[in-house]
Amino acid sequence: MRLTAFSNYALRTLQFAALRAPARTRIDEIADAHGINRAHIVKIVHLLGREGYLETRRGRGGGFTLARPPEAISVGEILRLTEGPFELVECHHAPTNTCPLIGVCRLSKALAKALDAFLASLDAVTIADIAANRGALLARLSPESDADQAPEPSGRGAVVHHSGL
C-alpha cells in the first residue's frame, strides 16, 4: 500500500508554498529542490490551481501562492483529489466487480471502514499544521537563508543550487 509520488509532491508543494507565504513560489524552485523533473510539479501546480488551492500567475515575476489560508486546507482533501478513487480492493468498484459476495461481505465493509479511519485522521491535519515548524523546515530547505526567499534567480534548465526538499 503506497501513495503515488504525485500525491506526495502535491502535499509538499502546498507545504512549500505555505512556508514561502506571502511571497510567491516558482515551479522550478520546487523541482530543483527535489531534484526531479519540472513536468511533475507543473502537472501538480496546474491541478491545484484549477481546483482552487493555488493562485497561479504566469509571466515574469509569476509563480503561485496558496489560494486559501493554510488552516483551511486539509491533507485529507488533497489526497482525495490527487489519489484518485480510493478502491482498496476490486470489489469496491462496482462496474468491474467479480466477487459474488458483494453486498454481504463483511471483509469489504471492514476495509471501507479502515479507509475511513485513515482519511479521517488526515482530515484533521491541515497545511498549516505541516508547515507550523517553519524554522526547522526552512533550515533544511535553504540552509544559508532562513526566513526570506532566495534572492538569486535561477535559469530554466540549469540546476543551480539544488538545496533539496
Partner DNA sequence: TTAAAGATAGACGCAGGATATATCTTTTGC
Partner DNA sequence: GCAAAAGATATATCCTGCGTCTATCTTTAA
Q: Is 27 in the site for DNA (CB under 7 A)?
A: yes
CB of 154 to a second copy, least distance (A): 18
Residues 42, 54 contacting (CB under 8 angstroms): no
Q: Under 8 Å CB-to-CB from 118, ≥6 apart: which residues? A: none
The residue type of 67 is A
Residue 13 or 126 with smaller CB distance to DNA: 13
Least separation in angstroms between residue 81's CB and DNA is 14
Closest CA relative to residue 68, chosen from 49, 44, 88: 49
Question: Residue 45: which of a second copy, DNA, none does it interact with, CB under 5 to 8 A by kind?
Answer: DNA
User: Position of cell 509538499?
Assistant: 12
What is the contact surface with DNA in residues (CB under 7 A)?
4-6, 25-28, 36-40, 42-43, 45-46, 49, 56-64, 84, 153-156
